[in-house]
Copies of this chain bind each other. A is one copy, B any other.
Amino acid sequence: MLNSIMEDKKELLKSLLRQIHEGRDVSELKEQFKDVLASISPLEIPLIEQELVKEGISTREIAKMCDIHVELFRESVEGAFSVEDIPEGHPLHTLFMENREIVKDAEMLALLANTLEREMKGEILEEMESVVAELIKVGHTHYNREEMLIFPYIERRGITAIPNVLWFKHDEIRAALRVLHRLLTTDTGERWEEHIKRVVEKAREVSSAMLDMVFRENNIFYPTLKVLLSEGEWRAIREQEEIIGYYKLKPAEWKSDAKPVHPYEIDTTITAEQLISLPEEVQNLLKGQLLKPDSYEVVREDDLRLDEGYLSQREINAIFKALPFDITFVDSNDRVRFFSGSDRIFARTPSVIGRRVHLCHPPRSVHIVDKILKAFRNGERDFAEFWINMGGRIIHIRYFAVRDEGEYLGTVEVVQDVTEIKRLEGEKRLLGWK
């Protein structure tokens, strides 16, 4: 049952969509229907679409109108957030543009659910499956970038509630998408009508949760980021984005002269000016609670700066000992330079340090060792592996060329007892830990 205000909106929209369908100019229509559009929540769209379908416009046709449709609804969907002053390729711009794609696909999912409910055709399930397979990628890209690249900057400033709630909801959506995908790809053994009913319900739930997330992001999260994060922070984020990837777009290049700033390097102060510029919801959230910025000092005196982090000499030693492999490193002069492992499979003694690798092997196999090292040095090979049976254990021995920007630095030998690994069956997941 639609209430009367919604009835009015519906009538206006029906008239609008009918005109699009008849081929009228979109931008002209958009101007004409501006006020109506602004007052409609995307959550109402599926209901209205259902009405249109009832009146004879086919689902396929409505699906074809989807892009125009989203274009038309953009202003109401995007809330107060204005993307115009953010340069293309800027992480916030990218997130915002991805949300447009997400709205489009979530809408499509709701549309298909409506059609399915009415027509109950198997082919609609297939179409739905391909949309769901796409939407699952939102979790790996858009949500994951927020969780991994952006949340740390907010947390560091002491604002943990927003990341926490968003992440919780991301996970709910991920789980619901997985359930829906399973429903669509496995035979549940249910009666057809029962099955369709469950699919339709789950699809509507997913669609509305994802649209709701777009709303929260566009109206609360992104405006907050815009106020708080410095250009250096955005630059650091930008430089890491590609590791995770994007949802249905490839952002333009965005260059900044600012020095990249990592979360542990930021100034965590929130100024009065920033505070009053935050969205009302966030201001309310922060009201009456003491912000505790994270003051943990990552870089300690004498820490070794590695490509991805900081470790003390003591930590490096202890990590190498804790790793479940025996490691030996031979440098570019074929000298043994380092080995690790507290309870080694093949014993090594400190006397080997500095020794020529040719002198560490039984004379009869030296020529093979030489051949492998030569192939590594020449760049012909990067990898050699062997496995042997030793007293009932299976020992996996691997050699890897160690290079830095193409330059050969040496070879690392990794020896691993894989007996237990070969016996692993099924799965054992984190949540089952006791």
- Interface residues of A, Cβ cutoff 8 Å to B: 144, 148-153, 155-156, 160, 163-164, 167-168, 171, 236-237, 240, 243-244, 262-264, 294, 296, 298, 304-311, 313-325, 327, 329, 331, 333, 335-340, 347-356, 359, 362-365, 368-369, 371-372, 384-389, 394, 396-398, 400-404, 409-410, 412, 414, 418, 421-422, 424, 427-431, 433
State the Cβ distance, A232 to closest chain B Cβ, in Å. 13
A424-B387 contact given A337-B315, A347-B243, A359-B155, CB 8 Å threshold: yes
B residues less than 8 Å from A149 (CB atoms): 349, 351
Q: Find out whether the CB atom of B319 lies under 8 angstroms from the CB atom of A402.
A: yes
Q: Find out whether the CB atom of A244 lies under 8 angstroms from the CB atom of B347.
A: yes
B residues less than 8 Å from A321 (CB atoms): 307, 402
Which has the most chain B C-beta neighbours within 10 Å: A152, A304, A308, A317?
Answer: A308
Assembly CA distance A398 to B156 (angstroms): 28
State the Cβ distance, A214 to closest chain B Cβ, in Å. 20
Nearest-CB residue, chain B, relative to A150? B351
**When the two chains form the complex, which single residue of B348, B368, B394 contacts A433, counting CB atoms closer than 8 Å?**
B368
B residues less than 8 Å from A318 (CB atoms): 402-404, 409
State the Cβ distance, A8 to closest chain B Cβ, in Å. 40
Q: Find out whether the CB atom of B315 lies under 8 angstroms from the CB atom of A363.
A: no
Q: Find out whether the CB atom of A421 lies under 8 angstroms from the CB atom of B396.
A: yes
A315-B368 contact given A148-B352, A236-B350, A424-B394, CB 8 Å threshold: no
Q: Find out whether the CB atom of A263 lies under 8 angstroms from the CB atom of B421.
A: no
Contacts beyond the supplied A264-B353, A264-B354, A386-B428: 5 A-B pairs with Cβ under 8 Å: A148-B348, A160-B359, A163-B359, A243-B349, A305-B313
**When the two chains form the complex, which single residue of B308, B354, B371, B422 contacts A353, counting CB atoms closer than 8 Å?**
B308
B residues less than 8 Å from A368 (CB atoms): 430-431, 433
B residues less than 8 Å from A410 (CB atoms): 315
Which 6 pairs across A and B sit closest by C-beta, in order of nearness?
Answer: A309-B338, A264-B354, A298-B354, A240-B349, A322-B400, A322-B402
Assembly CA distance A347 to B140 (angstroms): 10
Assembly CA distance A250 to B368 (angstroms): 36
Nearest-CB residue, chain B, relative to A404? B318
Assembly CA distance A81 to B173 (angstroms): 81
Assembly CA distance A51 to B316 (angstroms): 65
Q: Find out whether the CB atom of A329 lies under 8 angstroms from the CB atom of B339.
A: no
Nearest-CB residue, chain B, relative to A361? B430
B residues less than 8 Å from A305 (CB atoms): 313
Nearest-CB residue, chain B, relative to A171? B362
Q: Find out whether the CB atom of B351 lies under 8 angstroms from the CB atom of A148.
A: yes
B residues less than 8 Å from A384 (CB atoms): 433
Nearest-CB residue, chain B, relative to A362? B171
B residues less than 8 Å from A314 (CB atoms): 404, 409
CB-defined A-B contacts under 8 Å, sample of 29: A148-B352, A149-B351, A150-B351, A152-B351, A152-B355, A163-B359, A237-B351, A240-B350, A244-B349, A264-B353, A264-B354, A294-B356, A308-B350, A309-B337, A309-B338, A310-B337, A311-B329, A314-B404, A315-B329, A315-B402, A319-B329, A321-B402, A323-B412, A324-B400, A324-B414, A325-B325, A387-B427, A394-B424, A421-B421
State the Cβ distance, A315 to closest chain B Cβ, in Å. 6
A313-B304 contact given A394-B424, A428-B386, CB 8 Å threshold: yes
State the Cβ distance, A5 to closest chain B Cβ, in Å. 36
